[in-house]
Structure 1
Amino acid sequence: MKKLLVLISLLSLSNSQAQSIGVEKEAFAHTYSIVARDSLTGEMAVGVQSHWFSVGSIVSWGRSGVGVVATQSFVNPAYGPEGLDLMDSGVSAEEALTNLVEKDNGRAFRQVAFLDANGSVSAFTGDNCVEAAGQLTGRNFSVQANMMLNDKVVPAMAEAFMRYSKLPLAERVVKVMQAAQEAGGDIRGKQSAALIVVGSEKTKNSWEDKKIDLRVDDHQNPIKELKRLLKVARAYEHMNKGDLAVEEGNIEKALKEYSTAEKMFPENLEMKFWKAITLANSGRIDEAKPILNKVFKADPNWKKMIKRLPPSGLLTISEDELQFLIE
């Protein structure tokens, strides 16, 4: 009851009053989350769900070869970039988090978890976080939650992380989030979710930093939608590998990758189309034609598209062969 009164009092504060104790009124993301590391690949991830719009825009932070951060409850977004900068300089997750918590006037309202590239983990739950609130840390992971329906959510997350150890990290994190929801989840319900995965090695370019970066900003079942988006992302990973194989001149590998993607999403016309283009470019016109016929029937714009490819060099067949494909 005391924590509920604290929450009501905070929501009635003016901006200046909120700032005076280090709590910004607009930075409000009660939630459950996980920071985790794959001990085999070194990949690191943050998964989060909340009954709050666009939770991924404020809670989850990561940098390849450095670490990941989840900052929630009454959010201080500075924990993200400042924590990553500290870990990037060689400071451990524990030392970095301690450093930032000690100078935070609003620390009683914070819930934060850090994980560094070495697998070191540290988490903090302020005394004024709304119950049910808590955290559990283990080897290569930390799970934390506040404003949950019950105190079973956090243990369920930790158990799921251990149970699904054979899954790729992203899929493993989704299982953890599903377990949280099944155990009771956020007392207010569901609205948004996010998942980021970063690599084990530092990258030269910022746009290469995140291997997976998915957000569901507003949805009736955000975790289910996040799971669907992850499957789409995996399919397009195969498409990208197929494109690279084409560049390398390895047509058989390209076709294998395109076929894998297509099996994951058999209704996706673009996947079928580029598989057919690869077949045509490798001289297998007769195999390409029935695939393209189905694509053209489903959406005639693809027939317009194929005519635009020869000038760009993406389709290297004769005019007669092109006419055969589109007739």
Structure 2
Amino acid sequence: MTFSIAGYCKKTGMVGSAITSSSICVASRCAFAKSDVGVVLTQNVTNPALGPFGLEQLSSGATPEETLEKLKEHETYIEYRQLGILNAQGEGVTFSGENALGIYNEASGNACIAMGNLLDNSDVPAAMIASFESNEDLPLPQRLLSALQAGLDAGGEAGSVQSAGLQVYSNPSWPIVDLRVDWQDAPLSELQILLDMYEPQMNDYILRAESPAHAASYGVPGDL
């Protein structure tokens, strides 16, 4: 019921993920990331606790492969989980338990990983990887969302998707992009609209945190 991609941008050091599902609030339960650390995706029959635990392992210096082994040791019901781990150097690993739902598959590429379950067909993760690798000139947020759309265009889920999320981390400790759409008939299209609105303002919000005296005005009534 979920497919996702995580990617790293070698030019900027940004790392992030894009995810969509027929379930509500997929981004809040399944996608976790941290600046200078990486991304952990936990989906299928989801245990959200695996996301922060995986990031702790990466933060302590574990490789993605070592982190996956720690997660397998930590999780009692690992056979129900589908996991993706990508560190802040673009090294990644994926895993699908034997009780993953429906048609499921995983794929890895250059500084990216993708996976999904209850898919229309097994080629969906590879379509996301191909899109990500062919769009090196795009900013990472758009590159991830374009890859997710490529997965949908390749068949996506067996049913319709209802929620989607996009999260990107860079130099600040907080996410510079964290956009979500829930319980909409076309969540990826709605997410693209949000990104188009937000991306021109993204650096202004970063500047407000780092140097508020030099930040642009807020553009709201009463702000001079």
- State the TM-score, normalized to the length of structure 1: 0.63
Counterparts of 1:74 and 1:46, CA distance in 2: 19
**How big is the shift at 1:128?**
1.6
Change (3 A) 1:92 1:234: same
**How big is the shift at 1:241?**
7.5
What is the aligned counterpart of 1:221 among 174, 186, 193? 186
1:139 and 2:110 are equivalent in the alignment: yes
When the two chains are superposed, the root-mean-square deviation of aligned CA atoms in Å is: 2.3
User: Structure 1: which amino acid aligns with 2:200?
Assistant: A
1:19-34 alignment, distance < 5 Å: 30-34=1-5
Higher CA-based Rg: 1
**2:19 counterpart residue number:** 48
1:247 and 2:218 are equivalent in the alignment: no
Q: Deviations over 1:233-265 (max 9, x none)?
A: 11322654897999349xxxx6xxx8xxxxxxx
Flag the structure with higher strand content: 2
Change (3 A) 1:36 1:246: closer
Counterparts of 2:212 and 2:80, CA distance in 1: 53
**How big is the shift at 1:116?**
1.0
Percent of aligned positions with the same letter in both sequences?
Answer: 31
Asked if structure 2 preserves the Cα contact closer than 8 Å seen for 1:56 and 1:217, the reply is no
Unaligned runs of 5+ in 2: none
Q: Deviations over 1:295-323 (max 9, x none)?
A: xxxxxxx8xx45xx6xxxx4xxxxxxxxx
**How big is the shift at 1:188?**
1.6
User: Structure 2: which amino acid aligns with 1:185?
Assistant: G
Counterparts of 1:242 and 1:128, CA distance in 2: 46
Change (3 A) 1:212 1:129: same
- State the TM-score, normalized to the length of structure 2: 0.91
Unaligned runs of 5+ in 1: 1-29, 259-269, 275-301, 315-327
Q: Name the SS for the 1:210 alignment partner.
A: coil
1:303-322 alignment, distance < 5 Å: 305-306=221-222, 314=224
- Matched pairs, number: 223
Asked if structure 2 preserves the Cα contact closer than 8 Å seen for 1:194 and 1:214, the reply is yes
Counterparts of 2:160 and 2:185, CA distance in 1: 9
Q: Name the SS for the 1:196 alignment partner.
A: strand
Asked if structure 2 preserves the Cα contact closer than 8 Å seen for 1:143 and 1:154, the reply is yes
Q: Name the SS for the 2:121 alignment partner.
A: coil
User: Structure 1: which amino acid aligns with 2:133?
Assistant: M
**How big is the shift at 1:111?**
0.5
User: Structure 1: which amino acid aligns with 2:148?
Assistant: M
User: Structure 2: which amino acid aligns with 1:234?
Assistant: E
Q: Deviations over 1:207-240 (max 9, x none)?
A: x421101111111100011111111111322654
Counterparts of 1:214 and 1:45, CA distance in 2: 12
1:130 and 2:108 are equivalent in the alignment: no
What is the aligned counterpart of 1:193 among 161, 164, 170? 164
Counterparts of 2:206 and 2:119, CA distance in 1: 41
1:233 and 2:204 are equivalent in the alignment: no
**How big is the shift at 1:126?**
1.1
Q: Which 4+ residue blocks in structure 1 deviate beyond 6 angstroms?
A: 241-246
**How big is the shift at 1:52?**
0.5
Flag the structure with higher helix content: 1
Report which structure shows greater RCO (CA 8 Å, sep ≥6): 2
1:210 and 2:181 are equivalent in the alignment: no
Change (3 A) 1:215 1:246: closer
Counterparts of 1:191 and 1:231, CA distance in 2: 20
Comparing 98-107 with 134-143, which one deviates more in the overlay? 98-107
